[in-house]
């Protein structure tokens, strides 16, 4: 039988003593956690291990003995260590020894209660591991491990979950007894001491009252936002259509999570909280940088002065476009009566919109000043507000698109219904299917007249619909880019990516074994190294949820809507409205 003994590298130079750890019978593995040094009283060691086991709920016990012959010249020490097996009984009993003047390690696993015919000693594979890295790392499911180097043996995380869980659950053992304090002296990853800072301790003490105060303020704001005053029409309708309101509500949820006094139940929740904190800090920092730029060198005044000429220029180009459509665009012969009606209708809308813009021109600089001031809440809030401003400034283009789409949609559905009439079919509303139907001559005659009229009017309406749809898609593309940037800041797990960059062992995708110096007839010694999680998997695993207003509309669905004249809202759509 082959037994795997996981030995921490921090204990390789420890004094002789007892091996304390956990036995995993399912995998025939022994995870060594610490070394208890001489002198000690056996009853104190048992009481200490019982307290650690009760606090950590991990079966910590004495697994065997550790003899460092380079530090202990007494020849009778090994016999004394062997005699401890009668006091701290464990099956099998490990005997690890490092000989003097050599890198050779003696590894034995003795079974005192072995049945007849079964060897009393098991073969031992000694696996060295970095206890600090294993303690601080978080083992992820084996989705897809990165490429391994030549000579490395990849290992599934299923067999190593017990090792990682054992070390992670043994924090009480590492913190309850320091290397040079107490009646029992231990060696583990904290043997060289733990760095501490008085500033960190003061911050921890002040974090509790500050979080309570801020949590109370956030709950007060949430109560105000859910009051009856904000439920009166049309406030709920307006808030549901503005990206700024959704982004502010999203950030309030993040702040509530950050300043919550509830302790994280698992490392995943703790990682999410850290990612949210870094995301909010980065958002506010970028917003303050934008605010500094806007209020420096009178950039707001320059933007206000340039806004009116730009609006006039856009309106002039739209007027030229409509006049081109009212003539013979690209040499096409249009229905003149319908063409003139539609052209004058849209020109009147442009005239109304320009009048509205000039009426608001004295207040534009004040509006931009308050918009720039909103950047102190974060760059995402400023970008969402910019998206809403673009939607308001291009409202006339949206109206043109809606008018053209509705007329075109009526034409398409009218032609499809009349086409079914010629084939002797009709749409059954109750069964939601096409059924056969017999029509008389009057119905067929009227249907023929209507079909002819709609066919001859279709090119004129289709051309207007095509032009205004392209303009609307241009505006939607600009808004989509802004929302993608907002979604990137909201959902990118910056803390996890930084942790993967600076401390790759913290996010483990598995391990690899490297064979150390091997001698013939000697036990096999391996070094366990942590494989970090790939960056793509870090982003996918710890990606934060966004506002939910950026659904993934398929290209086929978008093309179908454009062909049939259905209204498209790819930049803004609720979860329940997805196709």
Q: From CA 339, how far away is CA 325, in angstroms rounded? A: 8
The H-or-E segment that residue 4 falls in is strand 2-8
Query: Could you tell me which residues come within 8 angstroms of residue 278 by beta carbon, excluding any fewer than 6 positions away?
Result: 494, 495, 498
Do 240 and 309 share a domain, yes or no?
A: no
- For the cut 50, the answer to whether the pLDDT of residue 179 exceeds it is no
- For the cut 50, the answer to whether the pLDDT of residue 248 exceeds it is yes
Do 260 and 298 share a domain, yes or no?
A: no
549 domain-assigned: no
Contacts of 369-376 with C-beta under 8 Å, sequence gap 24+, read 369/300, 372/290, 372/291, 372/294, 372/295, 372/300, 373/291, 374/244, 375/287, 375/288, 375/290, 375/291, 375/294, 376/284, 376/287, 376/288, 376/291
* pLDDT tens per residue across span 260-300: 777 777 788 888 888 998 999 999 999 989 888 887 777 88
CA trace torsion 332, 333, 336, 342 (10° rounding): -30
Q: Which of 477, 501, 525 is at the close of a domain?
A: 501
Kindly report the pTM of this predicted structure: 0.77
Question: Would you call 169 helix, strand, or coil by DSSP?
Answer: coil
> Of 250 and 143, which is predicted with more confidence?
250
573 domain-assigned: no
Q: From CA 6, how far away is CA 31, in angstroms rounded? A: 5
Average pLDDT over residues 427-433: 77
Find residue 5's DSSP bridge partners: 30, 126
Cα-flanking dihedrals φ and ψ of residue 34, to 5°? -160, 170
* pLDDT tens per residue across span 88-119: 777 788 888 876 656 667 777 777 665 555 55
* The pLDDT of residue 336: 85
266 domain-assigned: yes
572 domain-assigned: no
Do 220 and 191 share a domain, yes or no?
A: no
* The pLDDT of residue 493: 92
Q: From CA 168, how far away is CA 189, in angstroms rounded? A: 12
Is the Cβ–Cβ distance between 92 and 122 less than 8 Å? yes
Nearest to 213 by CA among 258, 255, 259, 253: 259
Count CB-CB contacts under 10 A for residue 446.
13
Structural domain range at position 159:
2-195+504-534
Do 69 and 109 share a domain, yes or no?
A: yes
Do 401 and 315 share a domain, yes or no?
A: yes
pLDDT over 90 percentage in the chain: 6
Number of domains in the chain: 3
> Of 247 and 206, which is predicted with more confidence?
247
CA trace torsion 514, 520, 523, 525 (10° rounding): -20
Find residue 21's DSSP bridge partners: 32, 61
* pLDDT tens per residue across span 52-71: 888 877 888 888 888 876 55
Q: Which of 257, 281, 305 is at the close of a domain?
A: 281
* The pLDDT of residue 465: 92
Strands (E), 485-539: 507-515, 525-532
361 domain-assigned: yes
Do 205 and 178 share a domain, yes or no?
A: no
Instruction: Tell me the CA distances in angstroms from 76 to 67, 79, 82, 212, 366, one per residue in order.
Output: 11, 5, 10, 61, 90
Do 74 and 187 share a domain, yes or no?
A: yes
- For the cut 80, the answer to whether the pLDDT of residue 330 exceeds it is no
Is the torsion defined by CA of 277, 283, 284, 289 positive or negative? positive
567 domain-assigned: no
576 domain-assigned: no
Alpha helices in 295-363 (DSSP H): 299-325, 336-360
Do 370 and 438 share a domain, yes or no?
A: yes
Max CA pair span of the chain? 119
Nearest to 47 by CA among 88, 15, 93: 88
Q: From CA 415, how far away is CA 406, in angstroms rounded? A: 14
pLDDT over 70 percentage in the chain: 79
Instruction: Tell me the CA distances in angstroms from 238 to 146, 244, 262, one per residue in order.
Output: 48, 11, 34
19 domain-assigned: yes
Q: From CA 472, how far away is CA 394, in angstroms rounded? A: 9
Nearest to 157 by CA among 505, 504, 509, 538: 509
Angle in degrees, CA 120, 126, 128, rounded to 5:
155
Q: From CA 170, how far away is CA 59, in angstroms rounded? A: 10
Average pLDDT over residues 209-222: 67
Do 331 and 232 share a domain, yes or no?
A: no
Do 433 and 466 share a domain, yes or no?
A: yes
Q: Which of 256, 281, 306 is at the close of a domain?
A: 281
Banded pLDDT at 408 (limits 50, 70, 90): very high
Do 44 and 168 share a domain, yes or no?
A: yes
* The pLDDT of residue 51: 84
Count CB-CB contacts under 10 A for residue 486.
28
Do 464 and 511 share a domain, yes or no?
A: no
Average pLDDT along the chain: 79
Average pLDDT over residues 329-346: 84
């Amino acid at each position: 039988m082959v037994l795997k003994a996981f030995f921490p590298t921090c204990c390789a130079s420890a004094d002789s003593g007892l091996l304390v750890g956990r036995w995993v019978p399912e995998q025939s593995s022994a995870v060594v956690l610490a070394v208890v040094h001489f002198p000690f009283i056996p009853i104190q060691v048992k009481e200490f291990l019982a307290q650690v086991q009760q606090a950590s709920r991990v079966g910590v016990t004495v697994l065997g003995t550790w003899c460092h012959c380079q530090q202990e010249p007494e020849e009778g020490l090994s016999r004394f260590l062997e005699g401890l097996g009668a006091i701290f009984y464990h099956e099998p009993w490990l005997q690890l020894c490092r000989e003097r003047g050599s890198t050779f390690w003696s590894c034995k696993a003795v079974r005192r209660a072995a049945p007849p015919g079964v060897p009393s000693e098991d073969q031992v594979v000694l696996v060295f591991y970095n206890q600090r890295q294993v303690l601080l790392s978080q083992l992820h499911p084996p989705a897809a491990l990165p490429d391994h180097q030549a000579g490395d043996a990849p290992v599934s995380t299923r067999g190593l979950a017990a090792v990682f869980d054992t070390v992670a659950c043994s924090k009480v053992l590492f913190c309850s007894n320091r290397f040079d304090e107490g009646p029992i002296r231990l060696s583990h990853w904290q043997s060289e001491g733990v760095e501490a800072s008085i500033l960190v301790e003061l911050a921890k003490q002040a974090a509790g009252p500050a979080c309570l105060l801020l949590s109370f303020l956030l709950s007060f704001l949430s109560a105000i936002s859910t009051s009856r005053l904000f439920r009166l029409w049309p406030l709920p309708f307006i808030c549901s259509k503005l990206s700024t309101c959704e982004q502010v509500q999203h950030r309030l949820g993040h702040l509530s999570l950050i300043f919550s006094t509830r302790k994280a139940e698992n490392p995943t929740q703790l990682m999410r909280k850290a990612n949210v904190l870094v995301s909010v800090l980065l958002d506010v920092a970028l917003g303050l940088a934008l605010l500094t730029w806007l209020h420096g060198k009178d950039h707001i005044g320059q933007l206000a002065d340039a806004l009116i000429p730009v609006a006039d220029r856009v309106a002039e180009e739209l007027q030229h476009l409509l006049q081109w459509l009212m003539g013979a665009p690209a040499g096409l012969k249009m229905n003149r009566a319908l063409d003139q009606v539609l052209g004058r209708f849209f020109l009147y809308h442009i005239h109304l919109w320009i009048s509205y813009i000039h009426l608001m021109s004295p207040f534009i600089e004040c509006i931009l000043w308050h918009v720039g001031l909103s950047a102190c809440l974060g760059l995402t809030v400023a970008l969402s507000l910019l998206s809403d401003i673009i939607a308001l400034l291009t409202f006339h283009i949206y109206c043109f698109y809606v008018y053209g789409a509705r007329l075109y949609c009526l034409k398409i559905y009218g032609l499809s219904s009349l086409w079914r009439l010629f084939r002797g079919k009709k749409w059954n509303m109750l069964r939601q299917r096409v059924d056969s139907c017999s029509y008389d001559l009057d119905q067929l005659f009227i249907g023929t007249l209507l079909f002819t009229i709609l066919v001859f009017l279709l090119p004129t309406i289709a051309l207007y619909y095509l032009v205004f749809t392209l303009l609307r898609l241009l505006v939607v593309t600009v808004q989509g880019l802004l929302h993608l940037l907002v979604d990137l800041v909201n959902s990118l797990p910056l803390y996890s990516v930084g942790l993967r960059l600076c401390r790759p062992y913290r996010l483990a995708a598995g391990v690899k074994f490297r064979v150390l110096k091997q001698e013939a007839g000697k036990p096999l010694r391996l070094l366990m190294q942590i494989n970090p999680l790939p960056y793509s998997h870090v982003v996918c695993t710890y990606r934060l949820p966004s506002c939910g207003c950026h659904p993934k509309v398929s290209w086929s669905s978008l093309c179908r809507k454009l062909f049939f004249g259905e209204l498209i809202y790819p930049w803004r759509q609720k979860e329940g409205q997805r196709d």
